Amino acid sequence: MAPTSGGGVNELTIEARVDHVGYSSWTVAFTAQIAREAGTDLQERLHAEEEIVAEGQMTMVAIDTKTERSRPLPDDLRKALTGN
């Protein structure tokens, strides 16, 4: 947390979520938000105005190390990513 000129605190929150699960890949999306002038009191922090300052995504692909080509996601990984 960084102090601001008003004496409050700016908090950066980064959310990462699995956005898509495909046959051999999955995509994670990110959102970074900053709470402007959040106070130190819990109630003040809960009501701070949040502004999205960055968004992004990355796609990861399961690779067969011998052929260096994509391969189907392993069942245990697919279950972990989808919650099924």
pLDDT digits (tens, 9 = 90+) for 28-59: 999 999 876 655 566 665 655 678 899 999 99
Task: Quote the number of domains for the chain.
Answer: 1
Torsion of CA 38, 40, 41, 46, to 10 degrees: 30
CA 84 vs CA 44, 50, 79: distances in Å: 38, 32, 5
pTM value is 0.68
Question: Could you tell me if residue 68 is left (phi over 0), alpha (psi between -120 and 50 degrees) or otherwise beta?
Answer: left
- 25: containing domain: 2-82
∠ CA(66), CA(67), CA(69), 5° rounding?
125
Is the pLDDT at 2 greater than 60? The verdict is: no
